[in-house]
Amino acid sequence: MSTRERRERSNESDRFLLSLFNVALEKAGKNNKGLAVAAVGGYGRGELSPGSDLDIVILHQGQFSQNALSEFVNNLLYPLWDSKSVDHSVRTRTETRDAAESDLKVALGLLDIRLIAGDADLVVSVQSDSLDSWRKHARNRLPELKKSLEQRHERAGELAYLLEPDVKEARGGLRDINALRAISVSGATTVPLERISWAESKLNDVRETLHQTSGRNKDRLLFQEQDAVALELGYVDADVLMSDVAQAARSVDYLLEFIWHQLDQKVKDGFGRFLRKPRTDIVAKNLNVSQKEIVINPLTDLQSDPMLGLRAAATAAQLGLPISLESYSLLSASLNEGKGLLPNPWPREAREHLISLIGAGESMVSIFEALDQEEIIFHWIPEWRALRSLPQRNALHRHTVDRHMVETAVHAASLTRKVHRPDLLLFAALFHDIGKGDVEDHSIRGERLIEPLARRIGFPSEDVEVIKTLVKHHLLLSATATRRDLDDPATIQSILAVIPDLTTLELLHALSIADGEATGSAGWSDWKATLVSDLVKRVKKAMSGSNVFAAQPEITPEQLKVAESGVLQVNLEQRENGYSIEIISPDKPGLLSLVAGVINTSRLDVRSARTKTHGASAVMKWIVTPEPHAPAVTAQNLRNEIEKAFNDASHIEDRLIARAQAYASIPSIPVPDPIVEIFNDGATDATIIEVRSHDRPGLLFRIGAGITQSKVDIRSAIVTTLGAEAIDTLYVTELTGGPLSDERANEVASRLLQLLK
Amino acid sequence: MKLITAILKPFKLEDVKNALQAHGVTGMTVSEASGFGRQKGHTEVYRGAEYTVDLVPKVRLEVLADDADAAAVVDVIVKAASTGSIGDGKVWTTPVDQVVRVRTGERGPDAI
């Protein structure tokens, strides 16, 4: 099973055809001037699997009468038909050119044309016609090729993820490799074909073995054939074989996707011929957008910025752009040299980038796939290697374990508004099946494996416990809802016994939905979703009393002293990757919004904030990170800006609008709509407004302004950013004190939703 | 021959399946269903808002049986599916004209 054997088989056919050609020539009484037999397609490349057709072209110059020509062809082919299946065409040079122009398949086959017997000059002319035409018309033919590939992928599915895939037709299969070769020949862009040479020989070996063991020329790797093929190729079992097939297909698909992206860019830039220097925009520290790709500043030393890789991945995913191939190479080279490795545990910024990446939805899939293909992810999460292309022979599943978890994360990203800890949901979704690949129950093994990972990524202990619970019990709700009597109090008790609080229950519910949706229709349906929701409702009822919203912050005695003095005080403390800012100020309407506006226009990004009013003063604590190239901040100039804003805030609004417009030119991905929830909290005599939204510049300013317009007082605010998601909890009262009425609360909620649209 | 159709609470499916197998029934069709009977869904109060669950998820089970065995099969299902509370479901039988096993072409009781 090797390239050599396929070549040998091809040579053997060549010899046979040559002898037949000579016999036919003799019978026709002609010489070989202007007459030739040539191989095209895979046979043209000298690669023949046992069941492959012989694709040949018989070239002539019209020197025969119609009858004599068909007699010649019959003499040539009849003996062949007894032993081989032949796919042939009979054409002149002009006819060949016309056929190639009207039929993509013919054009592709001709790119590999090779003389078997007869007039070498004729074959060379046809070959140069084909190559010239292919190169000259690449602008039209490549989109045509792309379209035909898309149609074939639609029909044949993905080689890497199907349980019984077609190694030739499916996405990432041998036909895609041919397409890559054709793109390379066109000269439209450089195709690093060496990156898929392992994949090509692997897939060819599998196809050849399949033909041999099945005795047929079918390319679909059915369950019933997989064991025999695995055995023949020296694999331990079919799972290891299928894992290699998946790996090969993924590298092909990855390269193809990348090449299409490059070509799309070239087409937009007029094939790059008269291109001015491409425009670059800085989007984050050491990261630019250039030609619709995220590019790492090549001068950056990863050692001094180990977060750069994760930042690039998160930024690319959140903007819906790919990362340039050079940037991946830079990253992977640095990491392979041991430069830019992350400390244990990860710093907060690294964790937030990972969460932003996971939470980006659909656009995360290609970035994650690239991180896998470039072997970058294993430097961050070595645990991923054991899951890579791990097959699961389970009728419910359609994807390998790793892809299933990525799909689950995609579905989880659309459920982030339904939970109070989107970060824990996304993380658990991406790793919920980490325990698979062993005979032990994967939920129990998963609980054990997730703990060190979650700790290394830097989650605090209480979060690690929640993550462990989620992984261990990710099947609990579906199993209970379908197999136990929901009317039986013991059923509800059995959930309460392992799910400690409402936050965890919400998370587990969202995880069950994401997991089910990612599994596909065999494992999840509206019917099942209804059952699970019903169970969750009943458990929630039994849990009533536990709060999920953030509690009000405490004020320290030192802060109290300053607050009582009624002066404006700003303290700034430099922290890793940012500042901690303490502001104590006389309270006034719109204070939160003003300060948020000042911070935002100082080009600082709010990660979290705690504010509380005390008497006539407000105490605020902000954790912020500066944007790339933000000017240095001092306590004094922040204080000046805030004082200036107290007198007149109109300039802040103008600057925020200008900034929002600047951001509008940067692409974005679809995100779930914001949610505003309102509760009345008897304990604090205030109304609690909780806003859950995708984070964006000026978010807090907008929320604060909306509240102020509604003429209500903000008693305290707790702002948390988790990856790319923000949760803002506001304790508000009427200006005269006391909680809002239901009508007023709804009015505030709808105003906020309007402002956040 | 009879077609026996049963609408059951989902969690009772396992019990009914086992009971039928013990009775000697070898084949059945199971599908997800939803609907309501006298149970009429239920009203719940959640975070102050009242909402009704109109359609309750159920399992639909279909078994073919010989005329002589049909009554016994119905009894087996009813016994295994009963919890005594509202919403346990229903079982009914319908006459069947003809049954053909696709693979062999066998007809009538032989095809069951």
Residues B1-24 pLDDT 10s: 999 999 999 999 999 999 999 999
Are residues B11 and A485, on separate chains, in Cβ contact within 8 Å?
yes
Are residues B46 and A541, on separate chains, in Cβ contact within 8 Å?
yes
Which residue in the set A485, A487, A531 is minimally distant from B57, CB to CB? A531
Please give the Cα distance from A169 to A730 (Å, whole number): 56
Query: A interface mutation test: which of B8, B9, B11, B16 has the most A CBs within 10 A?
Result: B11
pLDDT band at A646 (very low <50, low <70, confident <90, very high): confident
Contacts of B34 in chain A (CB under 8 A): 527, 530
Burial of B80 (0-12, 13-18, 19+ CB in 10 A): buried
Q: Give the DSSP letter of residue A103.
A: -
Contacts of A486 in chain B (CB under 8 A): 11
Touching check for A483 and chain B: CB below 8 Å? yes
Of A531 and A2, the one with more pLDDT: A531
**Residue in A284, A520, A243 with CA at minimum distance from that of residue A408:** A520
Residue of chain A with shortest Cα separation from B58: A527
Q: Which pLDDT belongs to residue A189? A: 87
Are residues A540 and B46, on separate chains, in Cβ contact within 8 Å?
yes
Touching check for A502 and chain B: CB below 8 Å? no
Report in angstroms the alpha-carbon separations of A201 from A176, A388, A614. 14, 20, 72
Give the CA angle between residues A684, A689, A695 to the nearest 5°.
135
Mean pLDDT of A331-340: 92
Residues of chain B with pLDDT under 70: 38-54
Please give the Cα distance from A327 to A566 (Å, whole number): 52
Look up the pTM and report it.
0.81
Q: Six-digit token pair at A463?
A: 């979060």
Positive or negative, the CA dihedral A415, A418, A419, A420 is positive
Q: Mind telling me how many Å the CA of A301 is from chain B's nearest CA?
A: 53
Q: Mind telling me how many Å the CA of B18 is from chain A's nearest CA?
A: 14
Instruction: Kindly give the residue spans of alpha helices, DSSP state H, lying in A157-237.
Output: 174-186, 197-214, 223-232
Are residues B32 and A527, on separate chains, in Cβ contact within 8 Å?
yes
Give the CA angle between residues A542, A543, A547 to the nearest 5°.
150
Give the CA angle between residues A55, A57, A63 to the nearest 5°.
160
Burial of A615 (0-12, 13-18, 19+ CB in 10 A): exposed
Residue B47 Ramachandran class (φ > 0 left, ψ -120 to 50 alpha, else beta): left
Q: Which pLDDT belongs to residue A275? A: 47
Q: Write out pLDDT tens, residues A243-252.
A: 899 999 999 9
Helix (H, G, I), strand (E, B) or coil at A582: strand
Of A137 and A521, the one with more pLDDT: A137
| Res A485 pLDDT > 90 | no
Q: ipTM value of the model?
A: 0.73
Who contacts A754 (Cβ-Cβ below 8 Å, separation ≥6)?
A: none
Q: Write out pLDDT tens, residues A7-24.
A: 898 999 999 999 999 988
Q: Report yes or no: A114 and A37 within 8 Å, Cβ to Cβ.
A: no
pLDDT band at A272 (very low <50, low <70, confident <90, very high): very low
Q: Which helix (H) or strand (E) holds A720?
A: strand A712-722
pLDDT band at A107 (very low <50, low <70, confident <90, very high): very high
Mean pLDDT of A168-189: 93
Q: Tokens 């956040």 sit at which residue?
A: A756
Q: Which pLDDT belongs to residue A274? A: 46
Burial of B110 (0-12, 13-18, 19+ CB in 10 A): exposed
Please give the Cα distance from A583 to A539 (Å, whole number): 42
Of A399 and A597, the one with more pLDDT: A597
Q: Indicate the range of A94-103, A131-140, A181-190, A542-551 predicted with least confidence.
A: A542-551
Q: Mind telling me how many Å the CA of A480 is from chain B's nearest CA?
A: 8
| Res A740 pLDDT > 60 | yes
Q: Which pLDDT belongs to residue A270? A: 53
| Res A612 pLDDT > 60 | yes
Q: Mind telling me how many Å the CA of B25 is from chain A's nearest CA?
A: 22
Residue A440 Ramachandran class (φ > 0 left, ψ -120 to 50 alpha, else beta): beta
| Res A501 pLDDT > 50 | yes
Q: Which helix (H) or strand (E) holds B81?
A: helix B67-81
Contacts of B11 in chain A (CB under 8 A): 482-486
Report in angstroms the alpha-carbon separations of B41 from A481, A535, B55, B56. 17, 15, 6, 6
Positive or negative, the CA dihedral A233, A238, A244, A249 is positive
Please give the Cα distance from A308 to A547 (Å, whole number): 38
Burial of A641 (0-12, 13-18, 19+ CB in 10 A): buried
Touching check for A530 and chain B: CB below 8 Å? yes
Counting one residue from A and one from B, how many pairs have CB atoms under 8 Å apart?
34
Q: Tokens 């719940």 sit at which residue?
A: B44
Are residues B57 and A485, on separate chains, in Cβ contact within 8 Å?
no
Q: Which pLDDT belongs to residue A407? A: 93
Contacts of B32 in chain A (CB under 8 A): 525, 527-528
| Res A517 pLDDT > 60 | yes
Are residues A537 and B44, on separate chains, in Cβ contact within 8 Å?
yes
Q: Report yes or no: A235 and A241 within 8 Å, Cβ to Cβ.
A: yes
Are residues A483 and B14, on separate chains, in Cβ contact within 8 Å?
yes
Who contacts A555 (Cβ-Cβ below 8 Å, separation ≥6)?
A: A563, A612, A614, A619
Mean pLDDT of A368-385: 93
Please give the Cα distance from A559 to A660 (Å, whole number): 34
Contacts of B83 in chain A (CB under 8 A): 485, 487
pLDDT band at A670 (very low <50, low <70, confident <90, very high): confident
Q: Report yes or no: A1 and A40 within 8 Å, Cβ to Cβ.
A: no
Which residue in the set A531, A540, A541 is minimally distant from B10, CB to CB? A531
Are residues A483 and B10, on separate chains, in Cβ contact within 8 Å?
yes
Of A578 and A280, the one with more pLDDT: A578
Are residues B11 and A482, on separate chains, in Cβ contact within 8 Å?
yes
Contacts of A537 in chain B (CB under 8 A): 44, 46
Contacts of A484 in chain B (CB under 8 A): 11
Q: Indicate the range of A22-36, A521-535, B36-50 predicted with least confidence.
A: B36-50
**Residue in A110, A681, A482, A33 with CA at minimum distance from that of residue B30:** A482
R_g of chain B, CA atoms, integer Å: 17
Q: Which pLDDT belongs to residue B48? A: 44
Residue A8 dihedral angles phi and psi, to the nearest 5°: -60, -45
pLDDT band at A559 (very low <50, low <70, confident <90, very high): confident
| Res A487 pLDDT > 80 | yes
- In chain A, the N- to C-terminal Cα span, in Å, equals 60
Are residues B83 and A485, on separate chains, in Cβ contact within 8 Å?
yes
Question: Beta-strand (E) ranges in A507-646?
Answer: 569-575, 578-586, 604-614, 617-626
| Res A66 pLDDT > 60 | yes
Bond into A345 cis (ω within 30):
yes
Q: Report yes or no: A72 and A88 within 8 Å, Cβ to Cβ.
A: no
Across A57-71, A412-426, A478-492, the highest mean pLDDT is recorded for: A412-426
Q: Tokens 């792309």 sit at which residue?
A: A146
Percentage of chain A modeled with pLDDT above 90: 49
Are residues A534 and B53, on separate chains, in Cβ contact within 8 Å?
yes
pLDDT band at A614 (very low <50, low <70, confident <90, very high): confident
Are residues B85 and A487, on separate chains, in Cβ contact within 8 Å?
yes
Of A413 and A238, the one with more pLDDT: A413
Touching check for A485 and chain B: CB below 8 Å? yes
Q: Report yes or no: A674 and A753 within 8 Å, Cβ to Cβ.
A: yes
Of A498 and A737, the one with more pLDDT: A498
Q: What one-letter code names the amino acid at B23?
A: H
Mean pLDDT of A287-305: 88
Percentage of chain A modeled with pLDDT above 70: 97
Q: How many CA atoms lie within 13 A of A43 on its CB side?
A: 24
Residue ranges of chain B whose CB lies within 8 Å of a chain A CB: 9-12, 14, 32-34, 44, 46, 53, 55, 57, 83, 85, 87
**Residue in A418, A331, A424 with CA at minimum distance from that of residue A379:** A331
pLDDT band at A755 (very low <50, low <70, confident <90, very high): confident
Which residue in the set B9, B12, B34 is minimally distant from A527, CB to CB? B34
Give the number of other CB atoms < 10 A from CB of residue A273.
Answer: 7
Q: Six-digit token pair at A568?
A: 């404006």
Please give the Cα distance from A491 to A18 (Å, whole number): 78
Q: Six-digit token pair at A219?
A: 């390319």
